[in-house]
Structure 1
């Protein structure tokens, strides 16, 4: 047949028709489906019996209730619980993806190990648990024999007040070391502000669900703030059944998810939230919109007064009138004066207004003076211990264990005090300052630290100035990690004693962050440990017993469960609570009704048995409106002027002037102003002429930014303008980018006085001019191919500056510059 155009077309038409007629394509498709489902390397889950078990998630301090679906003993899915009051519904994305952190051998340590290669190489050798325990026991016993127990330091990321945290601190005290340090968070700042202004050591409790006006100063309500499951449920209620009844105003320098979905976004210059809060307070005072009865009957330091030495004190009201007029605050914050006045008026006229603080997820500690300013704003509208406000609680009645009995060696070590200076004249209100350790170790000729125990923490990744921590760990002779994960800090360790992970481990969850009622959750294991790991609490108890009578006498328990149960004696004998929740009446409604609570348990054994099934003790009751006898400050009132700050300054001024003492504390204010909420301008080691931008790290709900890694599936939820292949994106306002001659997608080096990282440019109208925004949770240098080298970690270039007065890290003070590459 001649091949011409006509015949060629006939051939094609016939071929197409033949393909549709013949069964060959359909047979090939069928065979392909069969072959691809039966390749030998394709995993086929075995069949088995379905079951569900309830427990509590411990991947963040929120403590959401979760239900784990199992096939035989294999976990297959994590869902939320409807019978748990914190989050009657689904968990957050990290919690939903938690199974990937359980079964991934590439990111977990499966057995004890010791380092055999250079430090930081990750070259380890398997050892037995007996060998591991003896190695650490011998090291600690040697410190006591040498009379150097204070050379033992712990870095702990366990939740505040948890039994695991108490056991680790108890081990150090029994050894003779005061150097127990904690990874800081917003809870530490809340605690300090509560002590200084209210005199109460209980947690800061926000009655979100009963508020009708939420004024959030940077709190990422949709980014994982507080207990994420609880806050997301509250948001759904505000936008569902209570739509139009609760207004949400977000004060933020960036158009975050929360700002974008709020009723109003108030854009401020980065780091000026305290100034805005005080500007709003000024308007409340000048327009007589504040709660005069509360201020008159229950507050101190607002109006002028004469102190016992005859000195005239101006008070907080005078400070507001002098320094925080809307016109002045507008210049500080960039918020128009008219908007400041309108916002203050709206806030004051709400039935139950509530101001929140704690930036992002609340995993990072905030500014102490900023927190005090927001707390003062709540007080001015009478929102302290009022329905829909900030509730004042005592500490949970969990038994704190008997006091440590220190032997002669321990007593000598404890007398040498803390290495980090927490509680000293310079940092009188700090309990722990882990951020000072690198400075102190690196400047010493011979390190004062011999051994570091790292538990539930990854300071090399999560703390600012991570390069300094790396240099510190290179200098410390011996490092022990209890991490179940192959994280950055564990890679520097000499000895790995891997803990169980959540779902394998018994833990207590003590009062989830920001919750308005007392609650203790019990996270119970739902499966047997997959690998040769061991509960860190059991390791600490076993280690103490191996160190002899001086230490062992302070650890009378056989195991962690026995120690945990002992703490519940206080709850069994204290105020009545409940061990079950049926979901019919939300706890905040029960609280508002003022109904009596009758315990549904009769003894400690009965309470413990019921907690094994429900994993819960809570008390949904509160005495709203009671203020008499509520505040435990020296004046017995809510203090706008903190007499405890004044006392600390007076005590230290005997060794130098008050101004010198304040300078050592990092406080720029002088006189009475230092004892009251005020705005402290951010200070940075970077010259604005050379580093023109302020660096603002931000958090996302779909990325873990703490010591626990992100489940790899979550990387599929990140947008291409946040992470593209290996590159993070630094967000810039188009106006800022134009001044720097930068374009979308362009690669840049982000440089600060502390270091530099690489990123791409993302132009974002929601970014404040003059600022550079980088996400936290990326930039790991450890773990597996799904986590390692994905993006950049802003902590590498954040300067290790200190927050004034508290001494805790300052996260939002670093200045940077961008250089095209």
Structure 2
């Protein structure tokens, strides 16, 4: 018999219904305990007795308010100091994002400041082989002279496009703006960003609503949260906000408890604490969303007014050329019945019907997307399918729903001055082809960037600048990235940490940590109102580091000419302040948080925002002192002018996607163009939200299992290291000594004669990693789950060589339409060691 996922599910000792019952009755009870938080408290008490723990001298106690930047959440923090040493981080009670709360990463941030085993102490030049960690400290003058000389040489050779940058700073921040500006002034189009769920969301919004509006969900005013894989209490969005909201949902004074339904294949903390958990096969969440849409449409539970007056392509329609097109409703009714969707997802048809009814009949429902923490890119078609649910219930730009905003009105910096070399360089095509006819909706593709380097006999990139990113570790399938980095002649890392990518750099220009610098945080992820926060330098720099924005300004001025003229500032704070002037001129903001009037209540009750500053200088003084500017107001509905699509409506049928396909086809049969976009559906369905069968690499015979990486709130899975103390908050069935644990369903493990704790190799066609078996009824049969955030080769003890990094074996394909890396479709096999 063929050994594949379908047969694995069939062979298990219990069927799928029993699997769900066991999970809800057993594993959920385990996760419902406060044990992780108790372990964190115990470890904090335990570590106080260690003799080598630094004890600050007696001195004056002070508290400094700032903003956390360890993720995209932008939570307010208050740092307690004894004289000049920071000793404790807590959440700010006077901050709207996270009133008083802070996640484990935020609480452990001091270790990322003071732990000298994970930080660079000054500018470094590599003196050993790449990856060896052998560096020689040099002066800032020497380092900058070496780098600017190399970039100037490229410009003299008329090769400015051979300069490239990988940027992990949050988009829209002043540092990110300056990185892009530097490349433009030099003449390179090769600015590349690390991918994330917000990039996928922007593409889906552009296709359906004509705008790349930020992810903004009015969760606190909702009564039904339908989450498609979002780790709501595992770090998704803004962790401090989500933990606060979760507590509020369960302590609603009106006794109208908010209902949370979690859709994911593993019994995560979010799934186990939710009111209902549905476990589909990984990668089929979009099909499940369309199955829910089928029931809502069939039973006429949708918002007919929105569908008829403010949506395009919902019903059958005829083009100006006279061609008839089936609408979204017709296609969904024909192809996505609960029975059909059950065969794709494994979900019970009765559960699909029941969930669809409950969602549509709720007063204020909202559907969310973005797997895990949202740090990794997602499926555009899945995001479109989920967004179609919000449109069906008419909850677009309404209280409790998905809110759409215009971009924040920052003042633009002066126009970049470009000489002839820069102008010619910018005419060259991007190495990643983002924005080309093949990927018209995607702004950056690091996977294509890597492929272009690997396919070239000589690297087309001569100098690579890396900011706040660790692609050699955090990118899905790290192997090609490492090989590409080896081919690049000169790599410069601006990381303050000894991460894997920095250890491959020829030159390190270490940035300050977030507690040592002033930096802006632009619109924390998923917030339903705009926030621009500014961090405060809590302490003086511990080591000989510099703010990356200041370094870029000095680099540009050292290169001189039009490049230097494009950076006329004395320091980073000048462009930072200049951009904020646009917020003052737009009006409507405030720097004061009123605890008795949280932003979500202001939005719901339409409370007028009172601005307490009288001039821009007054506003700037208050913003820098309090670290906060926000605008808790919104103009709801306005559907007549809201959507920027060609139809002026919410588009179930994406006319922009259709136009892109036609442009690529150039008058020929569009079938090949659709294939280049990764779309296998026929033309009637191609431009609607639909399900594309996962591309799972090699056949099921050789690799019969599916690998699913997952994220934890107490492990950093991005470019930052995990504070070492947080290692003590991990369970023994997650990591023990140097071994990761792979979660497997007992039925699946039995097929391989594996028992709890057995050592195994998890292997894909891209490589293999060691692990130990953890048997859990709370995971999908036929799937192997590995935690992200372990398996580092960089940093110091106890982070390095602890556990396995699933990114080493992920078989990263390309998502249809976006071309972004896919990390949830890797086929694997396991073998006992």
Q: Please, what TM-score do these two structures have when normalized by structure 1? A: 0.94
Look up the SS of the partner of 1:691 in the other structure.
coil
* Residues 812 and 821, structure 2, Cα contact 8 Å, conserved in 1: yes
Q: CA RMSD in A?
A: 1.4
Structure 1 residues 439 and 594: alpha-carbon distance in aligned structure 2, compared to 1, 3 A threshold: same
The question of 1:639 aligning with 2:682 is answered no
Equivalence for 1:670:
682
Equivalence for 1:619:
631
* Residues 189 and 371, structure 1, Cα contact 8 Å, conserved in 2: yes
Equivalence for 1:188:
199
Cα drift, residue 42 of structure 1: 7.5
Equivalence for 1:24:
none
**Of residues 229, 234, 247 in structure 2, which corresponds to 1:223?**
234
Q: Distance in 2 between matches of 1:319 and 1:398?
A: 43
* Residues 253 and 270, structure 1, Cα contact 8 Å, conserved in 2: yes
Equivalence for 1:381:
393
The question of 1:685 aligning with 2:697 is answered yes
Equivalence for 1:46:
57
Q: Distance in 1 between matches of 2:478 and 2:202?
A: 26
Equivalence for 2:25:
none
Q: Distance in 2 between matches of 1:741 and 1:400?
A: 63
Equivalence for 2:432:
420
**Of residues 783, 801, 818 in structure 2, which corresponds to 1:806?**
818
Which is further off, 220-229 or 684-693? Answer: 684-693
Cα drift, residue 685 of structure 1: 2.1
Equivalence for 1:744:
756
Cα drift, residue 43 of structure 1: 4.7
Cα drift, residue 39 of structure 1: 12
Q: Please, what TM-score do these two structures have when normalized by structure 2? A: 0.93
1:366-414 alpha-carbon deviations (Å, 9 max, x no partner):
1011001101110000110111100111111112423323210011111
Q: Distance in 2 between matches of 1:42 and 1:549?
A: 51
1:131-157 alpha-carbon deviations (Å, 9 max, x no partner):
000011001001000010001110010
* Residues 352 and 388, structure 1, Cα contact 8 Å, conserved in 2: yes
* Residues 56 and 82, structure 2, Cα contact 8 Å, conserved in 1: no
5+ unaligned residues in a row in structure 2: which ranges? 1-47
Equivalence for 2:831:
819
Q: Distance in 1 between matches of 2:433 and 2:682?
A: 23
**Of residues 735, 753, 766 in structure 1, which corresponds to 2:747?**
735
Structure 1 residues 43 and 652: alpha-carbon distance in aligned structure 2, compared to 1, 3 A threshold: closer
* Residues 202 and 396, structure 1, Cα contact 8 Å, conserved in 2: no
Structure 1 residues 238 and 681: alpha-carbon distance in aligned structure 2, compared to 1, 3 A threshold: same
Structure 1 residues 304 and 352: alpha-carbon distance in aligned structure 2, compared to 1, 3 A threshold: same
Larger Rg: 1
Look up the SS of the partner of 1:568 in the other structure.
helix
- 5 Å-filtered alignment, 1:511-550, equals 511-550=523-562
Cα drift, residue 338 of structure 1: 1.0
Q: Distance in 2 between matches of 1:161 and 1:342?
A: 41
Equivalence for 1:125:
136
The question of 1:399 aligning with 2:402 is answered no
* Residues 251 and 257, structure 2, Cα contact 8 Å, conserved in 1: no
Q: Distance in 2 between matches of 1:241 and 1:519?
A: 26
5+ unaligned residues in a row in structure 1: which ranges? 1-36
Cα drift, residue 244 of structure 1: 4.3
Q: Distance in 2 between matches of 1:670 and 1:59?
A: 44
Q: Distance in 2 between matches of 1:393 and 1:544?
A: 34
Equivalence for 2:326:
314
Which is further off, 497-506 or 305-314? Answer: 305-314
Structure 1 residues 41 and 617: alpha-carbon distance in aligned structure 2, compared to 1, 3 A threshold: closer
Q: Distance in 2 between matches of 1:43 and 1:621?
A: 46
1:392-445 alpha-carbon deviations (Å, 9 max, x no partner):
111111124233232100111111121100011111111000112221111111
* Residues 176 and 406, structure 1, Cα contact 8 Å, conserved in 2: yes
Equivalence for 2:710:
698
1:536-576 alpha-carbon deviations (Å, 9 max, x no partner):
00001110111111211211221110010000111010031
Structure 1 residues 41 and 269: alpha-carbon distance in aligned structure 2, compared to 1, 3 A threshold: closer
Equivalence for 1:64:
75
Structure 1 residues 38 and 651: alpha-carbon distance in aligned structure 2, compared to 1, 3 A threshold: closer
Q: Distance in 2 between matches of 1:537 and 1:384?
A: 38
**Of residues 271, 277, 296 in structure 2, which corresponds to 1:265?**
277
Cα drift, residue 44 of structure 1: 4.3
Equivalence for 2:468:
456
* Residues 168 and 194, structure 2, Cα contact 8 Å, conserved in 1: yes
* Residues 282 and 825, structure 2, Cα contact 8 Å, conserved in 1: no
**Of residues 465, 469, 487 in structure 2, which corresponds to 1:475?**
487
Look up the SS of the partner of 2:227 in the other structure.
strand
Structure 1 residues 684 and 656: alpha-carbon distance in aligned structure 2, compared to 1, 3 A threshold: farther
Cα drift, residue 655 of structure 1: 6.7
- 5 Å-filtered alignment, 1:487-636, equals 487-636=499-648
Q: Distance in 2 between matches of 1:42 and 1:676?
A: 59
Cα drift, residue 656 of structure 1: 4.7
* Residues 73 and 527, structure 1, Cα contact 8 Å, conserved in 2: yes
The question of 1:797 aligning with 2:809 is answered yes
Q: Distance in 2 between matches of 1:39 and 1:538?
A: 39
- 5 Å-filtered alignment, 1:705-716, equals 705-716=717-728
Equivalence for 2:165:
154
1:293-336 alpha-carbon deviations (Å, 9 max, x no partner):
01111111111111122211112111101110111001111111
Structure 1 residues 41 and 83: alpha-carbon distance in aligned structure 2, compared to 1, 3 A threshold: closer
Cα drift, residue 603 of structure 1: 2.1
The question of 1:88 aligning with 2:99 is answered yes
**Of residues 755, 769, 790 in structure 2, which corresponds to 1:757?**
769
* Residues 572 and 604, structure 1, Cα contact 8 Å, conserved in 2: yes
Look up the SS of the partner of 1:421 in the other structure.
coil
The question of 1:290 aligning with 2:302 is answered yes
Q: Distance in 2 between matches of 1:44 and 1:613?
A: 29
Equivalence for 1:4:
none
* Residues 264 and 271, structure 2, Cα contact 8 Å, conserved in 1: yes
Q: Distance in 1 between matches of 2:823 and 2:536?
A: 35
Look up the SS of the partner of 2:441 in the other structure.
coil
Q: Distance in 2 between matches of 1:537 and 1:529?
A: 15
Q: Distance in 1 between matches of 2:775 and 2:788?
A: 18
Q: Distance in 2 between matches of 1:44 and 1:316?
A: 65
1:145-184 alpha-carbon deviations (Å, 9 max, x no partner):
0010001110010001111111001100111111000001
* Residues 754 and 797, structure 1, Cα contact 8 Å, conserved in 2: yes
Q: Distance in 2 between matches of 1:684 and 1:655?
A: 32
Q: Distance in 1 between matches of 2:49 and 2:483?
A: 52
